[in-house]
Chains A and B, each alone.
Chain A
Amino acid sequence: MSKVKSIAEAVDLLHDGMTVMLPGFLGVGTPKALIDAICAKGIRDLTVIYNDGAFPDVGFGKLVRRGLVRKLIGTHIGTNPELVKLVAEKKIDLELYPQGTLVEKIRAAGAGLGGVLTPTGVGTAVEEGKTIMEIGGKTYLLELPLHADVALLYAHIGDTFGNLVYRRAARNFNPIMATAADLVIAEVANLVETGEIDPDHVMTPGIFVDVVVRGCE
């Protein structure tokens, strides 16, 4: 059964106040058509889980500029001066994690784990308020799973069942976020029939994907 919907139908599944996982690294690997549709519709008060600040006119930065973001859970915002200002003015909340920790929190949620133990952040401001554990003589922080209402993916090739293939550095958070949200919408640059992708080449199994939309390069 085809999971393909129009962008408008897909965005109708979203509502104000949602927690949204958005893959990408400085905009590479972020779905462009879905972002534009969210901006056009003005779905607001979003908590967004996204690595960085992108740029003011790129990807996640567009949501910020449009005033739709209440909170960012991420790792680095320095590339987006508009976002830096909004965070400093406390108009957008920011929850920061080291990048390797952020991805493991998401992976834990998708993999059914109760959390992960990481040495990253020990002895720094990152450890504040967290459970610290010593195992085999090494100190670790307990980082808890991070789940979202919806994940909006971007793939280079997708079939009608939702099997996905990413291209180059656009893979980044996509395969991990695919596993950790109640609703998973994949924007694909090239839509093909189910069976056309060699099963050995599938990077995200279609079983994780609920909706497929046709995007652009």
Chain B
Amino acid sequence: MGADVSRELIARRIARELKGGEVVNLGIGTPTLVANYITPEMNITLHSENGFVGLGPAPAPGEEVPDLVNAGGQPVTVLPGACFFDTAMSFAIIRGGHIDVTVLGALEVDEEGSLANWWIPAKGGPGMGGGMDLVVGAKRVIVAMEHTRKDGTPKIVPRCTMPVTAKGEVDLIVTDMAVIEVTRDGLVLREVAPGVSVSDILARTAARLIVPDEVKEMVA
């Protein structure tokens, strides 16, 4: 599967997780693509941590609005009903539990639902930005990522080896190969992508996976 195709699969599948009326924050990269599969009928409000709700699509070339970018610095638009606010309000919304779902990438996720998605800058990483607040504050945390690193080594591990963003906050992991739910008992394999077998998943996952009798095919 090409990288673009697998990212689309992940984004489409995550869009199916969203419920009408929810307030959602989408991280940079694959999570941003989820917006492509949110229809107006879904009545989803997107939050942008740099200071607004009601995030809309990218403007047509030449129609960029001054001072209006998303959290990745890209020009965007806002939808009717949008409003702007300062950073303290933006993070009150985040930390205060007013975001229903946050979708973000990860470098590692472990059996306890801890995730690592930032690196210590002295070692060449960027810093945490708003990610730590989002993971701690949002009611539901969905990780969108490739199932393994480029060299095939697992990203879903027994225990994170990198600095963690938060402990035990992840609810669902959606990869190009599988949908995995974080439960009290551990990680449960819920769905596998078309053409992928349960044994493929087990071979590419370092964490212990609970495999129920019924594992569905991932529908995107």
Interface string of A20-36 (1 = CB under 8 A from B): 00000111110000000
Is B100 part of the binding interface, using a Cβ–Cβ cutoff of 8 Å? no
Please determine whether B126 and A175 come into contact, CB atoms closer than 8 angstroms.
no
Which of A52, A75, A99, A166 is the most central at the interface, judged by chain B CB atoms within 10 Å of its CB? A99
CB distance A172 to B86 under 8 Å? Answer: yes
Q: Of A25, A76, A103, which contacts B126 at CB under 8 A?
A: A76
Interface residues in B113-128 by Cβ distance below 8 A to A read 114, 120-128
> Are A175 and B86 neighbours in the complex by a CB distance under 8 Å?
yes
C-beta contact mask, B136-168 vs A, less than 8 Å → 1, else 0? 110000000000000000000000000111110
Q: Which chain A residues lie closer than 8 Å to B123 at the CB level?
A: 88
Of A77, A98, A156, A173, most B-chain CB atoms within 10 Å: A98
Taking a contact as CB atoms under 8 Å apart, the answer to whether A121 and B132 are in contact is: yes
> A120 contacts B129, CB within 8 Å?
no
B130→A169 contact, CB < 8 A: no
The answer to whether B67 and A169 have CB atoms under 8 Å apart is yes
B98 contacts chain A at the CB level, 8 A cutoff: no
Contact A98 B132 (CB under 8 A): yes
Which among B67, B85, B130, B166 has the greatest number of chain A C-beta atoms within 10 A?
Answer: B67
Decide: A123 and B164 in contact? CB cutoff 8 A.
Answer: yes
Q: Does the CB pair B67–A103 fall under 8 Å?
A: no
Segment of B14-22, B87-95, B205-213 in the binding face: B87-95
Shortest A186–chain B CB gap in Å is: 15
Q: Is the pair A26, B73 in contact by a Cβ cutoff of 8 Å?
A: yes
| A118 interfacial by beta-carbon distance below 8 Å | yes
A122–B121 CB distance below 8 A: no
Q: Does B88 contact A76, Cβ atoms closer than 8 Å?
A: no
> Considering the chains assembled together, what is the distance between the CA atoms of A175 and B120 in angstroms?
29
**A169–B133 contact, CB under 8 A?**
no
Asked whether, in the complex, the Cβ of B95 is within 8 Å of the Cβ of A169, the reply is no
Q: 11 more A-B contacts (CB under 8 A) besides A88-B122, A121-B132?
A: A75-B127, A76-B129, A77-B127, A78-B127, A79-B126, A84-B121, A100-B137, A120-B137, A122-B167, A123-B166, A175-B86
* 6 pairs from A and B in contact (CB 8 Å cutoff): A25-B73, A98-B131, A101-B133, A103-B86, A171-B85, A217-B66
Give the interface of B toward A (CB within 8 A). 48-52, 65-69, 71, 73, 84-88, 90-91, 94-95, 114, 120-133, 136-137, 163-167
